[in-house]
Structure 1
Amino acid sequence: MSEFTRFLGDTPLRIFLKLLVVSFLVGIVMSYFGWSPYDVFYQIRDFVLQLWNMGFKAIDRFVGYFLLGAAVVVPVFVVLRLLSYRR
């Protein structure tokens, strides 16, 4: 078995025929749904961007909660430290 055949996993002719059949079937499905390769690319891109933005929205929400809590906790801490320092 040659390196090329081992890399492909089968003989080149059989791989070519498999790819031909699968490409034809995928083409039929994409045509049925009215998709183009650009549509698939843009859908993947939009999905990744939405995940990216959701991640930063979660971080933004966390930082917002942190700052909201710190606006109360830090002054109370400072006041309590000042009151305990006098004693």
Structure 2
Amino acid sequence: MSNEIRDYPARSQDSLSRFLGGSPLAVAFRLILLSILVGVVLSAIGFDPLNIIYSIRLLVQRLYEFGFDAFNWLWRYFLLGAVIVIPVWFLSRLFAPRGR
């Protein structure tokens, strides 16, 4: 057995997938979910952890009771979270060290 090191070719990914950190659809889905989650947390902030649980419960209750009108609330949570998540994600991707 020899102790030689083999260089395997890197996976061929296009530059967009490399920049985003995965396939564009998967990244978009993760960003949407993270934006909704951060939006729920930010809207529920009251420096009391019980308010966060209450807010999530209230969101589920509104989804159940109001049907399609609840999507308006979900959209507002998404926008609130996206204001924080999207710029932080973009800056972290922009200034991340490039792998060789």
TM beyond 0.5: no
Give the TM-score band, short-chain normalised: 0.3 to 0.5
The structure showing larger relative contact order (alpha-carbon pairs under 8 Å, at least 6 residues apart) is 2
